[in-house]
Amino acid sequence: MRKRLYERWNAFYSRLSLRYVIWCVFTLTAVLGAGLIGASFYSRFSAQLQNVVGKQNRALMEQVNQTLTSELRNIMRISDSIYFSILKHPGGIPAEEGFRILYETNKTAVESIALFDEDGTLLVSAPAAMLEKDVDVREEKWFQAAAGQTENLHFSNPHIQRLFVSSENGYRRVISVSRMVQMADGDEVKDGILLIDMKYGQLETIFKNVSLGEHGYLYLVDHEGTLVYHPDHQLILDGIEKETHVEAAGRRDGVYEEVLDGEKRRITVQTVGYTGWKIVSVIPGGAVQLSTAKNLLFLIALALIFMLLLAVINSYISRKVTIPLEHLESAVKKISEGELEIEMEERGSYEIRRLGDSIKKMTVRIRELLQDIVKEQEIQRKNELNTLQAQINPHFLYNALDIVVWMVENEKPQDAVRALTALARFFRIGLSKGRTIIPVRDELEHVKSYLTIQKMRYKNKFEYRMEAGEEVLEMSTLKLILQPLVENSVAYGMEFQDDGEGEIVLRAYLDGEDLVLQVEDNGPGILPDRLDAIRRGEVLASRRGSGIGVKNVGERVHLTFGGSYGLEIESEPDEGTCITIRQPAKVYSQEEAQ
């Protein structure tokens, strides 16, 4: 499985261009790095934001706490003033007057002030009011909390105050602050309960004026978990909303994370002095986060812009790196196709320049090697030609000398002279100052000298004629290419002819761009099997020779003029043989011959 995956990956990877790989790797690395840095920054920034908001909340809570404490102290001061300045100094200000003055001075915060004896009888109240007829204050919680605990102040939970007769239909919600007091009554000291009803609205104002963001809020809870103030107090009482006030009442001062109805919240608890109440601030989890839908979309847009910029920059870098390599690759491809004369731009980094330079040097070296090889082949070819020519000359010399010997033996000195003159002319042309290319005129002259000798040898058994226009005589051809063919015609075709019946025709003419040289005889022809063997290039020895003459001529034409030129043999038994040489038609020039 792993191997297959690895193979697949390799197959995929091998299809990718270097530029694309560099681009992908760079972009991926940069995006990953940027993502990590972004996430790290986001996390740190969020945490810092949370801290800042937390600090602000605590500062705000501190402020609320101070304001609330100040309000409570004010009530406590009123209570102390009544107790220590009025009730404990019977000779001082009359109680009714003192109560009235204090009420009037603080009536924005105070609903009523009242003094009861230990039996619950109303002694003094401000504003002046009568108790409701069915009310027994001793059953009230604030009364019971204060009774028996001298000088301690007790703060009740908010409740509807129904002690006094009122003509209004509305209801008054108050927080009752009660304490047990001792009053001088003549010589006696009596216990009583002092009640100051603090307006609940005062408390509400303190909390309502505080803003903790869009969804944050503050609430106040007593030590038993009963709500004192909550913006949704009524909804919580009616079960429409939920709150964790009971748990909060049990918490120490500090910051806590909690979940309510699946929503994360951060709550901060702070205790209020004197009362044991706790101020609780609630910040829903989403309120401090940056992850609103629009913020997230904006961040995604920024990330995409960043990615696009990276992609463009990486594309530029990868192109910069790979273009010289692509040029090198293209150059190497051309070199591999045989094109060695290429221009290579010098660009790219140090290593790539070095590589390019090395390839350039390598090309020069290959070129030099190829030239050496061509030279060597040239030399080799010349050597082969020389060897071939060397094979031809002894062969002919032997035959010619054989004729002269025969003439001398038969006392025909005139003929011997003629033969030797022809032989001399033959060799003069054969030498041609070492040139291998000669004019057609010389080659025909050379063959004519040869045929003169052979005609003498074969006692005029054959005739020959030459058909060559003036236009071909100055064309260039290979030296000694007709003589071996004529030699074959004489050797195989003329021996069995009656006197004068043999005929050899030499033709030289132009065929389009080509020069055609032809040797035709009316001899017995060549048997098909032998003809096929000769055409295949096989050297077949016979009693008249080694058979290499015709093959040599063919190879020389091939080597000199290329594969498309050469030699063609047509023969019909008892009809004769015609050998055609085809070569490019070119006017002879001394320089070229050299």
Residues that bind another protein (CB under 8 A): 158-160, 162, 169-171, 173, 204, 214, 232-235, 237-238, 240, 292-295, 297-298, 300-301, 304-305, 307-308, 311, 315, 319
The residues that bridge with 113 in the sheet, in sequence order, are 126, 196
Task: Kindly state the greatest CA–CA separation across the chain.
Answer: 203
HSE on the CB side for 18, CA within 13 Å? 12
Among 142, 101, 141, which Cα is nearest to 124's? 101
Residue 344 phi/psi, 5° resolution?
A: -115, 125
HSE on the CB side for 587, CA within 13 Å? 2
Q: How far is the CB of 311 from another protein (least distance, A)?
A: 8
- Euclidean distance between CA atoms 125 and 327, whole angstroms: 106
- Would you state the structure tokens that stand for residue 465, as one six-digit string? 């004629």
Q: How far is the CB of 587 from another protein (least distance, A)?
A: 55
User: What letter represents residue 484's amino acid?
Assistant: P
> For residues 101 and 287, which CB has a smaller minimum distance to another protein in the complex?
287
> For residues 142 and 462, which CB has a smaller minimum distance to another protein in the complex?
142
Q: How far is the CB of 51 from another protein (least distance, A)?
A: 24
Asked if omega into 90 is within 30° of 0 (cis), the reply is no
For residue 391, give every residue at least 6 positions away whose Cβ sits within 8 Å of its Cβ, in sequence order, or none: 548, 552
Q: How far is the CB of 295 from another protein (least distance, A)?
A: 7
Structural contact between residues 466 and 444, judged by C-beta atoms closer than 8 angstroms: yes
The residues that bridge with 160 in the sheet, in sequence order, are 173
> For residues 91 and 170, which CB has a smaller minimum distance to another protein in the complex?
170
For residue 594, give every residue at least 6 positions away whose Cβ sits within 8 Å of its Cβ, in sequence order, or none: 435
Write the DSSP assignment of 111-126 as a string of letters. Answer: EEEEEEETT--EEEEE
Q: How far is the CB of 63 from another protein (least distance, A)?
A: 22
Q: How far is the CB of 554 from another protein (least distance, A)?
A: 57
Among 545, 466, 454, 464, which Cα is nearest to 495's? 454
> For residues 118 and 232, which CB has a smaller minimum distance to another protein in the complex?
232
Q: What is the DSSP letter of 589?
A: -
- Euclidean distance between CA atoms 384 and 323, whole angstroms: 50
> For residues 6 and 298, which CB has a smaller minimum distance to another protein in the complex?
298
> For residues 310 and 416, which CB has a smaller minimum distance to another protein in the complex?
310
User: What letter represents residue 34's amino acid?
Assistant: A
The three-state secondary structure class of 61 is helix
Q: How far is the CB of 348 from another protein (least distance, A)?
A: 16
> For residues 189 and 309, which CB has a smaller minimum distance to another protein in the complex?
309
Q: How far is the CB of 119 from another protein (least distance, A)?
A: 21
> For residues 145 and 419, which CB has a smaller minimum distance to another protein in the complex?
145
> For residues 152 and 295, which CB has a smaller minimum distance to another protein in the complex?
295
Write the DSSP assignment of 479-530 as a string of letters. Answer: TTSSHHHHHHIIIIIITTPPTTTEEEEEEEEEETTEEEEEEEE-SS---HHH
User: What letter represents residue 270's amino acid?
Assistant: Q
- Euclidean distance between CA atoms 419 and 454, whole angstroms: 9
> For residues 310 and 486, which CB has a smaller minimum distance to another protein in the complex?
310
> For residues 130 and 373, which CB has a smaller minimum distance to another protein in the complex?
130
> For residues 114 and 163, which CB has a smaller minimum distance to another protein in the complex?
163
User: What letter represents residue 463's amino acid?
Assistant: E
Q: How far is the CB of 240 from another protein (least distance, A)?
A: 7
Q: How far is the CB of 233 from another protein (least distance, A)?
A: 4
Q: How far is the CB of 291 from another protein (least distance, A)?
A: 13
Structural contact between residues 556 and 478, judged by C-beta atoms closer than 8 angstroms: yes
The CA-CA-CA angle for residues 6, 8, 11, to 5°, reads 110
Q: How far is the CB of 221 from another protein (least distance, A)?
A: 14
- Euclidean distance between CA atoms 309 and 273, whole angstroms: 59
